[in-house]
Amino acid sequence: MKILATYNIKGGVGKTATAVNLGFLAAKDGYRVLLWDLDPQGAASFLFRIKPRVKGGGQALIHGTRPVDGAIKGTDFDNLDLLPADFTYRNLDLMLDEAKRPDRRLARLLAPLKSEYDLVILDCPPSISLLSESVLHAADLLLVPLIPTTLSVRTLDQLTEFVGGFNGHQPQVLAFFSMIDRRKRLHTQIAQDLPAQRPDFAAAAIPALSVIEQMSVHRAPVTVFSPRSQASRQYASLWQEAKERAKLGEPG
């Protein structure tokens, strides 16, 4: 089982859109996928029409009083399950703080699921916190969506340096440009130049397209309702790159 996380300190950069589309594409390829919507806003849960509610809340999951697999819901798609968001996730930091080894807690919670899933995707809320630290420790691959600006690239470097300081397991970092506005010269220039220069950048890049925004109307991944759109093609190539970086074997 590989763990992939969509992470960025900033909000509104396309983390959830990436998580749900890659989750669907992986499941379509035959991988058994679990997507954990860690964001209390519950956008991924909303997109899959699943109520953002977990019995016992985040407390029960973090402290192990309820097993994680009991909270899992099937999506409408074969091989793709979701661990829904819950409003109590806003306090996950406090809950983790009470737990032993909080930075390793998520990895330990997910361990019992390894025979059931080939891939877990963690859709993280935007923050730097104990939760994000726990996510960084659990993940094999961090997918970092960046809006093409100089400052975003600086944040990526800080993140890479931070995970490079981990003892033992360190996640790989794969950044990609998201929400590229073709009308902005700076966006197109950075998005064109950087991936060729840096190995931690994916070749795939997700443009800012209204079809992606329509996901909340359709309540489904864009790769489902508009599979031939440019957005879907870019998510498909991002999935291919992520799969190779994470060294995910053939689906069983």
Site membership for other proteins, residue 44 (CB under 8 A):
no
Closest CB to other proteins among residues 51, 101: 51
Stretch that binds other proteins, among 74-82, 97-105, 187-195, 226-234 (CB under 8 A): 74-82
Q: Cβ of residue 68: shortest distance to other proteins, in angstroms?
A: 12
Closest CB to other proteins among residues 36, 201: 36
Site membership for other proteins, residue 66 (CB under 8 A):
no
CA 44/CA 145 separation, integer angstroms: 16
Listing from the earlier edge strand, what are the strands of the sheet with 201-207?
A: 73-74, 80-83, 33-37, 119-123, 2-6, 141-146, 172-180, 201-207
Q: Cβ of residue 18: shortest distance to other proteins, in angstroms?
A: 22
CA distance readout (Å), 226 to 31, 33, 204, 229: 21, 21, 18, 6
Q: In 3-state terms, what secondary structure has residue 13?
A: coil
Closest CB to other proteins among residues 48, 177: 48
Stretch that binds other proteins, among 10-18, 49-57, 128-136, 244-252 (CB under 8 A): 49-57
Q: Name residue 21's amino acid.
A: N
Cβ atoms within 10 Å of 210's Cβ, excluding its own: 7
Closest CB to other proteins among residues 24, 239: 24
Q: Give the residue, chosen from 3, 17, 25, 72, that forms a contact with other proteins under the rule CB under 8 A.
A: 72
Q: Cβ of residue 28: shortest distance to other proteins, in angstroms?
A: 14
CA 148/CA 152 separation, integer angstroms: 7
Site membership for other proteins, residue 30 (CB under 8 A):
no
